[in-house]
Amino acid sequence: MNKTKELRYYVMLALYFPILLYSVSTFDMDDETYAVKDYRGVAVGEQTVVVGQPYKARTFLTAERLTTAKKSKDGGIQPTLVPEGDLSSRGDSMLVMNTNDLLGPGEDQKQVSYTAHYEAPQLSGTTQRFPVSGSFTVRRPEIVAKTETAQALYRRSLNRLRLSVPGIEDQSLRVEGPSGSVSGTTLPLSPTGDRVTVDVYLKRSGGADDLLLGQREFSVIDPPRPQIRVFSPRGELTSGDPISRRRASLRFRVEADREFKNRHPEDARYTAGSATVYLRRGQMASEKLGTFDLGDDGRLILTQELQGAESGDQIIVRLNNVARVNHRGQRVDVSLRENGRTFGFVLS
C-alpha cells in the first residue's frame, strides 16, 4: 500500500469510527503526524424513562476531519465533558439527569431536551467547545398488581395487595389506600364499596414531599357464592332423596369456594342461622312446622315434629341467615337465591 492510499485509509477510519475520550487525538504515519481538527459530539441514551428513574446517556466525540500537525508532547489531547442545566456527569463520558421533578401535577409524560459540551484544547493552544445534545421522554410508570386477584378485590375480605413499579424497583416506595399508608409496595385492604384507588409514591428525603408516581384502581366484588351440602346419619343427601321420619336428623354444611378458601382462609368460614321447615301431606298444601335454630354445627333434628307424618310425605327445608364470618370476626350476609338454599326430601 503506497503512502497516498495509507492516508485515505486512515482518514476513512477517522470519519466513521468514534474516537472515545481516552483515545489520543494525534497519531503517526511514517514521518508525519496527523491530528483531529474537528469533533462532533454524540449522546446515546434510553429513549424513554419513568419518572423517578435517573436518565443516563453515554457521550463521545466522533472525528470530523484530520490535519497535519506537530507531534503533541504528551501524546494526545484529552477533551473534558461539561454538563449543563440539570445534568451532572459521571466519569468522563456519562451524563445523568434526575427525573423526579420533570412531571407536574396532571402530566403523564413529557419530552425533555438537554445540552452539554466537551472542552478540548487545540494544537494552537486555545480551547474549543463541542456541543452535545439529546432528548428523551419521561412518563409515569405502570403500576403492576401482583395479587392473586390482580383485577378485582374481594369486598369485606383481607386483600393483601402487592404492587411493583418496573424501572425503579430498587428505590424506596410508599403506597396509600383507604385504610392508610405503608412503606413498601404491600398494602392490606378490606374494601366495602364498589371501587378502590391506591396511590404509589416515591419516598424522598430532606423534607421534600413524596413524589406521586401513579394510581391504580380496582373493582371490588363479592366473594364467590358458597356451596351448601346436606348430610344424614347415612351420608350426603341431595334434594328428592328419602330420609327416615323416625330418625329425621339433618346436618347442613356451608362450604366456601375452594379457590377463595385457599387464598383467603381467614375470610372463608360460613354459617347458617336457622332453617324453616314445611310438611306436605300427600296432595295437600304445605304446612309450616316452624323455624329452628341450627346451632354451631348446622344440625337440624325433626323427629318429634314428624311424629304424625306418614311414609311418602315430603318436607321442605329453607335455610335462613346464611353469612360469612370474615377476618375481623364480622358476620357478612350472603345473598343466595331461594332455590340455592331450599331442599326437599321424601319421608320413608
pLDDT score for 179: 85
Strands 249-255 and 299-301, sheet pairing: antiparallel
Do 8 and 134 reside in the same domain of the chain?
A: yes
pLDDT score for 309: 87
Residue 111 is part of a domain; what is its CATH number?
2.60.40
pLDDT score for 64: 59
pLDDT band for position 150 (50/70/90)?
A: low
* Domain boundary residue, one of 99, 120, 139: 139
pLDDT score for 255: 96
Question: 228 is written with which cell numbers?
Answer: 351448601
231-256, pLDDT tens digit by residue? Answer: 999 899 999 999 988 888 999 999 99
**What's the number of domains the chain is made of?**
3
Q: Beta partners for 134? A: 114
Is pLDDT of 148 > 70? no
Please tell me the distance from the alpha carbon of residue 34 to that of residue 10, in angstroms, as a whole number.
Answer: 10
Sheet with strand 144-145: strands edge to edge: 144-145, 159-164, 186-189
Do 190 and 232 reside in the same domain of the chain?
A: no
Please tell me the distance from the alpha carbon of residue 296 to that of residue 270, in angstroms, as a whole number.
Answer: 10
Please tell me the distance from the alpha carbon of residue 8 to that of residue 84, in angstroms, as a whole number.
Answer: 37
pLDDT score for 296: 85
Provide DSSP, 64-82: EEEEE-PPPTTS----EEE
Do 135 and 171 reside in the same domain of the chain?
A: no
Q: Beta partners for 39? A: 63
Among 8, 12, 122, smallest CA distance to 69 is for 122
Do 243 and 316 reside in the same domain of the chain?
A: yes
Among the residue ranges 156-160, 167-171, 328-332, the one predicted with the least confidence is: 167-171
Q: What is the mean pLDDT of residues 258-266?
A: 94
* Domain boundary residue, one of 95, 119, 139: 139
pLDDT score for 133: 95
Do 211 and 256 reside in the same domain of the chain?
A: no
Q: How far apart are the first and last CA of the chain?
A: 113
Question: 242 is written with which cell numbers?
Answer: 328419602
| C-alpha dihedral (301, 302, 305, 311), degrees to nearest 10 | -160
Classify residue 77 by burial, with Cβ atoms within 10 Å: 0-12, 13-18, 19+.
middle
pLDDT band for position 65 (50/70/90)?
A: low
Please tell me the distance from the alpha carbon of residue 42 to that of residue 54, in angstroms, as a whole number.
Answer: 19
Do 74 and 153 reside in the same domain of the chain?
A: no
Do 18 and 89 reside in the same domain of the chain?
A: yes
Do 183 and 254 reside in the same domain of the chain?
A: no
Do 72 and 135 reside in the same domain of the chain?
A: yes
* Domain boundary residue, one of 104, 139, 174: 139
Do 173 and 127 reside in the same domain of the chain?
A: no
184-232, pLDDT tens digit by residue? Answer: 989 999 999 999 999 999 998 887 889 999 999 999 999 999 999 999 9
pLDDT score for 21: 36
Do 130 and 156 reside in the same domain of the chain?
A: no
67-108, pLDDT tens digit by residue? Answer: 544 444 444 557 889 999 999 999 889 999 999 999 988 899
Q: In which domain, by residue range, is 165 found?
A: 144-221
pLDDT score for 39: 72
Do 299 and 190 reside in the same domain of the chain?
A: no
